[in-house]
Amino acid sequence: MSTAATPDHTTARTADGAGGSGSAARPSILTLTMNPAVDLCWEVGHLEGIGKNRARVRSVAAGGGGINVARHVVRLGGRATAVHTAGGEVGLRLNHLLDEEGIDHVAVDIDDETREALVLFEAESRRSYHIVPPGPQLHDREGRRSLDALERAAGSCPYVVASGSLPGGLPDDFYAAASRRIKEAGSRLVLDTSGPALRGALAEGVFLLRCNRTEAESLTGRPVRGFDDARALNEHLLTTGAAEIAVTTLGELGALCSTGHGHTELYAPPLPGEPLSDAGAGDSMVAALTTRLAAGEDPVSACALGVAVAAAAMLTPSTEPFDLNVGRSLRSQVRTRFQTDARRRGV
């Protein structure tokens, strides 16, 4: 494992010892995680309200949207590099965990402490409790350094995935600024975020926008219960230039993938076991979708694999990696229904 400090407070780390962006095997997908975490997963037999609860540690891993996406891209046979912030003792641990796992990454140093997040899994009820703090406060200069690091790395990557929440201190239009930089570098941005950061990115526009039901409802101001509601949102995103491809996920129903050619409903496959958590489903889907796009697959086929691996991810109690064989087996069970958009076709 090689490390090379750079003058702008970033550290490039690679699994192959080839020196980050100088590697002979260029990464096909770059990810950005501005608010990563060290994810702890503890398991208890039964959660008691009084007295001590004895727990065992199920897993400790580097986490956060883009880092999770990079991990799953590699599992799916792609290549990925994760750009992320790291600060304090937890940030050092985050870097160490990524090095141990063999994930190529570029760490941007920050002054404040990287966060830790906890998943508490109760074996008796098979329920997961996710406890996530807001994370560090960043200075403007740390945001600019992150964008500089992203732009330098993006030149060799056709796709960049920006995923996860923004930490405090960064402006709501941070992802809009990232989108401009990525376009100038000749890459395409896949965005998966929420709240003000999501709204702030829409004016600039992205290549692909993925929203879950909660995020979709925040944009529409009304419930998004099914495919018709998702179609109205996706059409708005496409016609306003907010996205070239819009994917809205609908939980147990599946997802709607919309392009300039029309809308495709993708129905979630039946699960081969009990769902334990949806925490890793979104990152798994984005990873599969982007991996297949980078391989030259069309958006609907890529999205179908995304729906399948999202279903597989629900069989794990935290953000632990999904079973690759289960994900692939579920792909054939994803049903689709295509509808052209009459307004776009002038009918």
CATH number of 2-31+63-110+136-345: 3.40.1190.20
Enumerate helices (H) and strands (E) in the chain, giving the number of each.
Answer: 11, 16
First-to-last alpha carbon distance for the chain, in angstroms, is 58
CA–CA dist 131, 97 (Å, integer): 20
**What stretches of the chain show up as alpha helix (H) in DSSP?**
65-75, 88-101, 140-154, 174-184, 195-202, 213-220, 227-239, 281-294, 299-313, 324-331, 342-345
Q: What is the pLDDT of residue 277?
A: 81
- Residue among 283, 298, 323, 341 flagged as catalytic: 283
Is the separation of the CB atoms in 39 and 170 below 8 Å?
Answer: no
In this predicted model, what pLDDT tens digit does every residue of 280-332 receive, in sequence order? 899 999 999 999 999 999 999 999 999 999 999 999 877 778 899 999 999 99
CA–CA dist 138, 170 (Å, integer): 6
Walk across the sheet containing 80-86 and list its strands: 2-5, 10-14, 105-109, 80-86, 29-33, 159-163, 188-192, 206-211, 243-249, 254-259, 262-267, 335-340
Mean pLDDT within 85-89: 98
* 229 belongs to the catalytic site: no
In this predicted model, what pLDDT tens digit does every residue of 204-257 receive, in sequence order? 999 999 999 999 999 999 999 999 999 999 999 999 999 999 999 999 999 999
Mean pLDDT within 73-100: 97
Q: Say how far residue 60 (Cα) sits from the centre of its chain.
A: 19
pLDDT exceeds cutoff 90 at 156: no
Closest CA to 255 of 279, 223, 229, 280: 229
Domain chopping of the chain, boundaries? 2-31+63-110+136-345
CA–CA dist 52, 124 (Å, integer): 17
Weakest mean pLDDT among 100-114, 130-144, 224-238, 307-321:
307-321
Side-chain half-sphere CA neighbours of 24 within 13 A: 2
CA–CA dist 244, 250 (Å, integer): 20
In this predicted model, what pLDDT tens digit does every residue of 20-58 receive, in sequence order? 333 445 458 999 999 999 999 999 999 988 889 999 999
Category of 148 on φ-ψ map: left (φ > 0), alpha (ψ -120 to 50) or beta: alpha
CA distances from 36 to 64, 95, 135, 242 (A): 4, 11, 8, 26
Percent of the chain with pLDDT strictly greater than 90 = 79
CA–CA dist 299, 303 (Å, integer): 6
